[in-house]
């Protein structure tokens, strides 16, 4: 498929303007429209004195067999050149696609084009000619024609390229990001950015159609403890004081609800000083941020589910999409069955609790750990009984690399006989219990994780994904959505301190009564995440809109009233003057496009991403600044001490 292109149709409309026939070609590609105005030459329009547009009458994807014999003008980049003896063929590329240009070596234009390197920008005048049947290129929309050049103008000459645009050769991150303007010309990356534009446009349309108002919130704001490091901006007018770039528009969107707006959204930039991951861009990212007044959890779900479903259907390339309403999975259930709060439901393996069959058993390691408060989780391995011993040894070594003592297992042979080191230390009844609880059959195997409940769940989740991949069980060609709901309001750190487990602005289920009367670790929050194929797209919540509940919630987490008022005074004060119940969410735009484009790394769908070290190699950022600039800001740089050499 040519760059930035779906199926394009074009219509020709002519009108008389200033004595000239103006021809406009309207192109439509899945919601993207472009209009080109062209004043055709006298030989084409049969009107003397006419001139063409200085650069193009058509784009490089517009011409078809029906345009044969037309005199046209095209502009674009030299994608590649092919010398076939008497003829020189040039693939001319622009944003929309490719057209083949032909020059006879006897032409005075040959030398000009022969000297022009790939990626030079040229303007070509010429005649559209139908290709012969044997030379038609079915892979190009313009493959039935070629343009015989009658004039060529070099608009910009390219130097020797640090990386080619044509071809599928992979280049390292440093080369690609340092020369991102070249990388973006490559078909796959270019198409990703076009896809991103279409997705964002669809988001806007679908949110607006539901009555949401697009409202922009501040970029320069106050620092607040929201889980990640802030990017700080020094104030020249207020020495020693700093703005912060928003980690999310959290407080502002809540304040909009307090201000009387009913439904808000924006494609919001967010800034967090955190490390890169495959699904997380360091520095900045974008999210479909929205909030609703007088809304329940189900109202929020009902608003965003059709938007996400329809976008994944529209841009998902025919892959199956979970129909809405999406499944709701409580947090505790998700951790127990999948070992994760962002489960990939394409993985069919389900984790089971097999603590009881091991309690008091002769398998001493598990039995003694159970007495100390540990649990045992079982991960089925469908069809693994036929795998060689090396398969199990490989997984055992992998488990050790992950920090576990190993990975015990039982193999249930086709004849029903249980084999493996654990099976040798369990009686038949216990082995049968495990088989029944896990639901495995003859020919399957079961792996085990034994640890304290949370640690066992997380490791079992890793095993589940590893076994699924090793056995190639993961379903392909689909997007499986689910909501994770009923998150715990609090969690306990290693020192026994109670802290917020997720969003501190969430409303606790049971409200003030729950905070005053329940064990904090038992309190659930009106808090939810939406997950697709194991990727968290969004977290959200029904918000805490009452000052008395907010004070109590923060008190449990160790924050005094004075701290709450200092850190969140703007929002807290607003709540004292009448705040509606409200809630929302914020699906990540970058992650959505990454999934739709089937890219393994989020940088592939961002026009100008930072590298893994949060550097912009192309613009050389971050960089040192002049002393004059620091003095204006009343700052001086204090570098960390240099590491001592051994």
Q: Residues with Cβ < 8 Å from 643, sequence gap 6 or more? A: none
Q: Residues with Cβ < 8 Å from 492, sequence gap 6 or more? A: 498, 499, 521
Least confident of 146-160, 225-239, 291-305, 479-493: 225-239
**Confidence at 354, pLDDT banded by 50, 70, 90:** very high
DSSP state of 264: E
Give the C-alpha separation, 403 to 559, whole Å: 35
Q: What is the reported pLDDT for 38?
A: 36
> Which is more confidently placed, 376 or 643?
376
Give the C-alpha separation, 17 to 93, whole Å: 30
Q: Residues with Cβ < 8 Å from 305, sequence gap 6 or more? A: 324, 325, 326, 481
Q: What is the reported pLDDT for 645?
A: 64
**Confidence at 238, pLDDT banded by 50, 70, 90:** very high
Give the C-alpha separation, 422 to 409, whole Å: 6
Q: Which of 5-19, 303-317, 608-622 has the highest mean pLDDT?
A: 303-317
Strand blocks (E) in 235-282: 242-244, 263-272
Does pLDDT of 28 surpass 50?
no
**Confidence at 223, pLDDT banded by 50, 70, 90:** confident
Are 244 and 232 a contacting pair, CB within 8 Å?
A: yes
**Inter-helix orientation angle 561-575/547-556, to 10°:** 160
Are 595 and 479 a contacting pair, CB within 8 Å?
A: yes
Does pLDDT of 13 surpass 80?
no
As a whole number, the mean pLDDT across the chain is 89
Give the C-alpha separation, 263 to 584, whole Å: 9
Q: What is the reported pLDDT for 11?
A: 39
**Confidence at 225, pLDDT banded by 50, 70, 90:** low
Q: What is the reported pLDDT for 547?
A: 93
Residue with tokens 């304290």: 452
Residue with tokens 């040229």: 122
Are 99 and 57 a contacting pair, CB within 8 Å?
A: no
Give the C-alpha separation, 561 to 558, whole Å: 10
Give the C-alpha separation, 22 to 16, whole Å: 6
CB atoms within 10 A of CB 624: 9
Does pLDDT of 644 surpass 80?
no
The rounded Cα 543 to chain-centroid distance in angstroms is: 25
Does pLDDT of 14 surpass 90?
no
Are 72 and 88 a contacting pair, CB within 8 Å?
A: no
Least confident of 196-200, 293-297, 634-638: 634-638
Least confident of 10-19, 427-436, 556-565: 10-19
pLDDT in tens, 33-62: 333 333 333 334 334 445 789 999 999 999
Q: What is the reported pLDDT for 29?
A: 36
Residue 152, both tokens: 């060529």
**Confidence at 571, pLDDT banded by 50, 70, 90:** confident
**Cα separations (Å) of 234 from 272, 320, 626?**
17, 49, 15
**Confidence at 21, pLDDT banded by 50, 70, 90:** very low
Q: What is the reported pLDDT for 505?
A: 87
What is 105-147 written as a DSSP string?
TTSTHHHHHHHSPTT-EEEEEEEEEEPPGGG--TTSTTTTEEE
Does pLDDT of 112 surpass 80?
yes
pLDDT in tens, 250-265: 999 999 999 999 999 9
Least confident of 177-186, 208-217, 420-429: 420-429
Are 484 and 531 a contacting pair, CB within 8 Å?
A: yes
Strand 582-585: give its sheet, edge to edge.
213-214, 263-272, 283-293, 582-585, 535-542, 527-532, 481-485, 328-330
- Across residues 521-539, what is the average pLDDT? 96
Smallest CA-to-CA distance from 309 within 526, 592, 539 is with 592
Q: Residues with Cβ < 8 Å from 574, sequence gap 6 or more? A: 255, 258
Residue with tokens 């850190």: 567
- Across residues 240-244, what is the average pLDDT? 92
- Across residues 212-230, what is the average pLDDT? 87
């Amino acid at each position: 498929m040519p760059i930035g292109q779906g199926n394009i149709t074009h219509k020709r409309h002519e009108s008389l303007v200033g004595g000239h026939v103006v021809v406009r070609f309207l192109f439509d590609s899945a919601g993207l429209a472009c209009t080109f105005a062209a004043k055709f030459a006298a030989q084409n329009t049969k009107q003397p004195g006419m001139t063409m547009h200085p650069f193009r009458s058509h784009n490089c994807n517009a011409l078809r067999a029906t345009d044969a014999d037309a005199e046209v003008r095209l502009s674009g980049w030299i994608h590649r050149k092919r010398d076939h003896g008497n003829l020189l063929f040039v693939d001319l590329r622009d944003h929309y696609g490719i057209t083949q240009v032909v020059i006879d070596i006897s032409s005075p234009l040959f030398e000009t084009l022969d000297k022009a390197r790939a990626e030079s920008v040229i303007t070509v005048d010429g005649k559209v000619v139908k290709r012969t049947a044997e030379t038609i290129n079915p892979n190009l929309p313009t493959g039935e024609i070629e343009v015989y050049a009658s004039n060529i103008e070099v608009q910009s000459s390219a130097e020797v390229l640090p990386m080619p645009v044509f071809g599928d050769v992979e280049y390292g991150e440093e080369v690609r990001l340092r020369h991102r303007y070249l990388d973006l010309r490559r078909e796959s990356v270019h198409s990703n950015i076009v896809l991103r534009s279409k997705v964002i446009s669809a988001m806007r349309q679908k949110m607006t159609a539901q009555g949401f108002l697009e409202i922009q919130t501040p970029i320069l704001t106050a620092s607040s403890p929201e889980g990640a490091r802030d990017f700080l901006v020094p104030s020249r007018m207020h020495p020693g004081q700093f703005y912060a770039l928003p980690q999310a528009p959290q407080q502002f969107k809540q304040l909009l609800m307090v201000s009387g707006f009913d439904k808000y959204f924006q494609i919001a930039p967010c800034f967090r000083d955190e490390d890169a991951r495959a699904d997380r861009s360091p520095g900045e990212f974008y999210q479909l941020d929205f909030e609703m007044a007088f809304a329940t959890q189900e109202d929020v779900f009902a608003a965003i589910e059709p938007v996400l479903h329809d976008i994944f259907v529209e841009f998902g390339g025919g892959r199956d999409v979970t129909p809405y309403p999406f499944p709701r999975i409580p947090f505790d259930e998700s951790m127990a069955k999948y070992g994760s709060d962002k489960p990939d439901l394409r993985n069919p393996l389900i984790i089971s609790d097999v603590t009881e069959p091991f309690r008091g058993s002769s398998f001493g390691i598990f039995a003694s750990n159970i007495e100390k408060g540990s649990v045992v989780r079982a991960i089925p391995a469908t069809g693994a009984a036929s795998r060689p011993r090396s398969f199990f040894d490989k997984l055992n070594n992998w488990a050790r690399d992950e920090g576990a003592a190993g990975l015990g297992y039982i193999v249930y042979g086709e004849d029903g006989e249980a084999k493996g080191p654990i099976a040798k230390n369990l009686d038949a009844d216990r082995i049968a219990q495990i088989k029944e609880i896990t639901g495995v059959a003859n020919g399957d195997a079961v792996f085990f994780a034994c640890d304290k409940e949370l640690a066992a769940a997380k490791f079992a989740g890793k095993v589940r994904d590893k076994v699924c991949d090793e056995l190639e069980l993961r379903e392909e060609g689909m997007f499986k959505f689910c909501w994770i709901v009923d998150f715990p309001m609090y969690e306990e750190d290693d020192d026994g301190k109670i802290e917020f487990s997720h969003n501190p602005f969430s409303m606790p289920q049971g409200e003030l009564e729950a905070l005053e009367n329940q064990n904090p670790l038992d309190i659930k929050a009106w808090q939810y995440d939406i997950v697709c194929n194991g990727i968290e797209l969004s977290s959200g919540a029904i918000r805490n809109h009452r000052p008395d509940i907010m004070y109590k919630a923060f008190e449990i987490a160790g924050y005094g009233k004075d701290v709450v008022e200092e850190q969140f005074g703007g929002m807290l004060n607003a709540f004292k003057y009448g705040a509606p119940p409200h809630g929302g969410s914020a699906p990540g735009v970058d992650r959505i496009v990454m999934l739709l484009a089937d890219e393994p790394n989020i940088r592939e769908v961002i026009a100008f991403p930072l590298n893994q070290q949060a550097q912009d190699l192309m613009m050389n950022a971050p960089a040192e600044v002049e002393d004059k600039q620091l003095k204006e800001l009343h700052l001086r740089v204090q570098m960390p001490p240099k590491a001592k050499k051994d």
